[in-house]
Structure 1
Amino acid sequence: MHTELTPELARDPEAQRAKQLIQACVHCGFCTATCPSYQVLGNELDSPRGRIYLVKQLLEGQAGAADSAQAHLDTCLTCRACETTCPSGVQYGQIADIGRHLAEHRAAPRPSGARWQRWLLARGLTSPLFAPALALGRLARPLLPAALKAKLPPRRSPGRVPQAVHARRVLLLEGCVQPAMSPNIHAATVRVLDRLGVQCIPVSGCCGALKSHLGDREGGHADMRALTERAGARLGQAEAILSNASGCGVMVKDYGRELGSPLAAQVARATRDLGEYLFDPEAGFIDKLRTYLAGKTLPVLAYHPPCTLQHGQKLKADTPGGVAAGLRQLGFTLHLPADSHLCCGSAGTYSVLQPAVAGELRARKLATLKAAGGAASVGVASSNIGCISHLHEDGGLPVRHWIEWLDEALG
């Protein structure tokens, strides 16, 4: 798709990159079949093909293009299912992020309420104050409106966290939201790896995804550089950097392109999703875990593969090294829903900013997850804190990280 940049944008590296990426799009429309927002809203401009055309118009300086691009990019979950579907290999996620950033500086100012909401999400969720604020929210949970209650799943106590020293070490990214919302995910990760003779060295800090996807490229890059420095300083102590939140993992794996520094590229190359590391057929961990689980009755689970894992990191659930394949090798009965390729509606801050679309996608996903597991299902497993907190349902099946289900089975 040919694009003519305005004289101003012709000097902008981001705009030049977007122009190059847009050229790969042939406007075939295959992407509309797997776009969750298009399926709910039914508007061509709320499809990847439509949004790419709006970004093209923005780059060409057409009147009103910035406002229109901003509005329809706001409805995009950036699930990147369209990238998996696209026969031309269009890197839509990059186009959308560049389009958001450019539109944020060129569109009419957002209403003051929307600006404050986005600022609070970008700064509040990544702040050290988020944990105490969340704790206060849980105390006041009975008094909160139903919409806010839904965002506060019960806190699972982290329990004992081993402090053993092992010859094998990994860096474990802590993230910004997960330690406060679900500290047991990290604790379970440490316990399982400790059994396998692997020591976890924690690395704190936000990956930068939250701010970047809200159009704050500068703030996102500042978070990326800070985490790169923290992880890079300890790379020599570990064999890999692990992420047990797929939304963080997909961002860190892209640091080389985002930041362009040798250290960022090194950090990106060293980063692996927890399942990618644990279920690597060459690692030998599966045989050890099967020995520990021998004779145990394992739960029947429905598994929701996050978009950031299957479409972003290209780690399919059922392929060798995938979470579903790995858990099945350990003896778990695991069912994938019929719409396993589609987003649940979480998408970082999307469920807060676009509650109607997010709520519809959540209802659809919960229905297919329950149908997949059937009456025998004990719960739902996933690989990302955003999906887990979004799919939580009072009185419904418990939704946990798969490492928590594995840790519990190990006893």
Structure 2
Amino acid sequence: MIETAPQQETAVLVGLINQNQDEKQAQEYLDELEFLADTAGAVVKKKFFQRLDVPHPATFVGSGKLEEIQNYIKIHEIDTIIFDDELSPTQLRNIERELTCKVLDRTNLILDIFAKRAQTAHAKTQVELAQYQYMLPRLTRMWTHLERQRGGIGMRGPGETQIETDRRIILDKIARLKEQLVKIDKQKATQRKNRGKMVRVALVGYTNVGKSTIMNMMAKSEVFAENKLFATLDTTVRKVVIGNIPFLLSDTVGFIRKLPHGLVESFKSTLDEVREADLLVHVVDISHPGFEEQIDTVNETLSEIDTREKPTIYVFNKIDAYNYVAKDEADLSPKTNQNYSLEDWKNSWMGKKNTPSLFISAVKKQNVDDFKKKLYEEVHKIHITRFPYNDFLYDPEWIVDPQNKDEEE
């Protein structure tokens, strides 16, 4: 019997250990890069680490490490090598000259996933724009095999290399894509205006923290949710009613560390829902060992789009998956995040700061009523400022489980 199913690409990952990221962080970053590779459809066979203060300007890693990687790739017939940081055009060209496989960097991998996930014309246009912006400075490597156009009768003059021709074509495409995005953004702005003065709530957070699951739970919708990075690219808006107050809830694209600048620029229009929201629900995966760094990443991105000061509720999701490891008193090593119980976290900066914080499991429906009551309270505060003469009676006791509510009706 002949097998017709396509074989998965095999890949190796490469990361640096330096003054900006220690061995533990480098391992965590490559674990995330492995998740990205898995999302793109590749199987990771090995991870390589190189200790360098700064990336090697020619090959990212030293010549000895590159030779070690080359030997492994040849022996195990690896298809792709993926670097955890963005490679310069020179580094990319030199590495491809040395190795006999496809070379990608983190940016290229993320762009590939975005292209695969994009569904609407808006998302596809944004991804295509980011891809061309990434491609433009790397044309030298792509066209080194081409020579200057031939001269002759009717062809005299300064001439033009193939790379110059393609650079001009790409610049024209970038200009057209930007024009398309302006038109789409105007349509989106009109849609937002037509929604009236309803309170707007936006779900924000790192990728794969459970935003779409919370959206489905709150709005009884069927937003695509999967245990993959960037399962959601297009912003989804649904009308939600808690108790006696209706509001709009939006699910947005997740953030990630080392997000390519071109993607941030391209997707700023997608984040207009966040920029125009009245209230942010910052969803955090508390079961992830590096969730505090993920919080910082999200807050940095929110600052880039001038939404850092908006009223925010922190929702620490996936408490059912949180793995508490009690620390032995004889162990003098520093505590890790997993050495704190959920009660410890509730009594830490999360519970003591002015920003409301809740601990839930959207999948297991744990503490969901507490989340709804807090959301009701915060939406109500905004609602009464917008409709001071037409306010509903504040009554958090109206909040019940949607299933029970349906049964009562």
**TM-score scaled by length of structure 1:** 0.28
The structure number with the bigger radius of gyration is 2
**Structure with the larger strand share:** 2
Q: Which has the higher contact order (CA 8 A, sep 6+)?
A: 1
**Structure with the larger helix share:** 1
